[in-house]
């Protein structure tokens, strides 16, 4: 099964939408999806198309990977007569977290194949487990043998002195093992959003030369994977700093811009007109209020429909 057929299984309507968008603008992306056999690159293209669809609803022209002086931002758009470039990035789990998540998934899938009517919980200590030395087939065989002996509820088996598997309950209306649990805490590091080597700042710097040369507004599009553990509030704090609502006779808001990328003294985001987030199918926009924002007023007003305002953020905290 190809990556394309696997991804669009049960998503036929989405594929038709992608095809129609591709044909309407003569982009050729669908053809590249058929040929793609690297999962990371495939998902990156899927993400690019989602943003392209968003822009396509109000753009008079949509071009994919148009070349500017040997650089090819993902999207070149014409909106209200203004040419705009947009680059897409995915923020996935960190490498360490991805290893752990992949292991959890493989472990759960293996035990899920056991034909026993029960719910199991598994857990392990990140500081102790050596994932490379875990034989999942062996784990499955040990758990299956243990379950054949009908352990009592809350009874536990310890595998390789690293993985605890506990019987939560027997349930008659399932045909196989159901699992809950997994490894410990995810490494939640804000440097993945705002650090000097973060993907966001690399994207901000990448197109500075052509943004200046051709006076192009530049929008960075971010897809936050669920397992990146960041959300739109984290991105707000990264770009704008902290906003807090104070309750008084007349409520008011205060704003702390320390470490905010949009307000950095080094102006590292000065050439970025805005950041567009897609998460859980929802789009959220973060306008850069820098004096040199190249978006026309009419286009800043257009994107304000999706703007995450400081009032909306502050009221949550």
CATH number at residue 261: 3.40.1350
Among 119, 150, 182, the domain-final residue is 182
DSSP, collapsed to helix, strand or coil, labels residue 73 as: coil
Number of structural domains (the chain) is: 3
* Same structural domain, 261 and 113: no
Q: What pLDDT does 292 receive?
A: 87
Q: What pLDDT does 215 receive?
A: 96
* Same structural domain, 4 and 77: no
* Same structural domain, 302 and 196: yes
* Same structural domain, 23 and 49: no
* Same structural domain, 75 and 213: yes
* Same structural domain, 9 and 49: no
Among 147, 182, 217, the domain-final residue is 182
Number of residues written out for the chain = 317
* Same structural domain, 31 and 111: no
3-state secondary structure 176-243: CCEEEEECCCCCCCCHHHHCCCCHHHHHHHHCHHHHHHHCCCEEEEEEECHHHCCCHHHHHHHHHCEE
Q: What pLDDT does 161 receive?
A: 87
Is residue 187 included in any domain, yes or no? no
Is residue 5 included in any domain, yes or no? yes
Using the Cα atoms of residue 13, residue 16, residue 22 and residue 25 in order, give the sign of their dihedral: negative
Q: What angle do CA 189, 130, 103 make, to 5 degrees?
A: 70
Cα gap 289→180, rounded to integer Å: 45
φ and ψ of 134, to 5 deg? -85, 125
Q: How confident is the prediction along the chain (317 residues), in pLDDT tens digits per residue?
A: 789 898 999 999 999 999 999 999 999 999 999 999 998 899 999 999 999 999 999 999 999 999 999 999 999 999 999 999 999 998 866 666 667 777 888 888 899 999 999 999 998 887 788 888 889 999 999 999 999 999 999 999 999 888 999 999 999 888 899 988 776 555 566 777 787 888 899 999 999 999 999 999 999 999 987 666 788 999 998 999 876 666 767 776 666 777 789 988 778 899 999 999 999 899 999 999 988 899 999 999 999 999 998 778 766 65
Q: Within the chain, how many helices (H) and strands (E) appear?
A: 12, 12
Of 33, 26, 67, the residue nearest 47 (C-alpha): 33
* Same structural domain, 72 and 213: yes
89-101 exposure pattern, b = at least 16 Cβ within 10 A, e = fewer: bbbbbbeebeebb
* Same structural domain, 169 and 196: no
Q: How far is CA 175 from CA 113, 118, 246, in A?
A: 9, 9, 55
* Same structural domain, 81 and 198: yes
* Same structural domain, 86 and 227: yes
* Same structural domain, 303 and 199: yes
Is residue 238 included in any domain, yes or no? yes
Q: Which domain holds residue 2?
A: 1-37
Among 134, 159, 182, the domain-final residue is 182
């Amino acid at each position: 099964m190809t990556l394309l057929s696997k991804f669009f299984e049960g998503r036929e309507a989405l594929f038709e939408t992608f095809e129609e968008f591709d044909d309407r603008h003569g982009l050729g992306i669908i053809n590249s999806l058929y040929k793609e056999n690297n999962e990371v690159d495939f998902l990156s293209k899927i993400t690019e198309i989602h943003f392209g669809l968003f822009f396509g609803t109000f753009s008079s022209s949509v071009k994919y990977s148009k070349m500017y002086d040997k650089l090819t931002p993902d999207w070149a758009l014409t909106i209200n007569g203004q040419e705009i470039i947009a680059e897409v990035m995915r923020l996935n789990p960190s490498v360490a977290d991805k290893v752990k998540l992949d292991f959890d998934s493989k472990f759960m899938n293996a035990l899920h194949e056991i034909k026993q009517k029960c719910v199991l919980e598994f857990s392990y200590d990140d500081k102790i487990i050596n994932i490379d030395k875990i034989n999942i087939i062996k784990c499955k065989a040990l758990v299956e043998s243990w379950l054949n002996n009908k352990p009592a509820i809350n009874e536990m088996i310890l595998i390789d002195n690293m993985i605890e598997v506990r019987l939560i309950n027997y349930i008659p209306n399932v045909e196989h093992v159901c699992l809950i649990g997994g490894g410990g805490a995810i490494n939640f590091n804000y440097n993945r959003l705002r650090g000097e080597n973060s993907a966001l700042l690399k994207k901000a710097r990448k197109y500075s030369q052509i943004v200046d040369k051709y006076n192009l507004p530049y929008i960075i599009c971010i897809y936050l994977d669920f397992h990146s553990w960041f959300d739109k509030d984290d991105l707000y704090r990264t770009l704008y700093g902290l906003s807090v609502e104070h309750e008084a006779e007349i409520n008011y808001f205060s704003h702390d811009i320390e470490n905010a990328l949009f307000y950095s003294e080094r102006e590292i985001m000065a050439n970025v007109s805005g950041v567009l987030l897609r998460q859980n199918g929802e789009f959220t926009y973060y306008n850069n209020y820098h004096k040199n924002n190249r978006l026309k007023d009419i286009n800043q007003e257009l994107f304000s429909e999706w703007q995450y305002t400081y009032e909306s953020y502050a009221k949550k905290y």
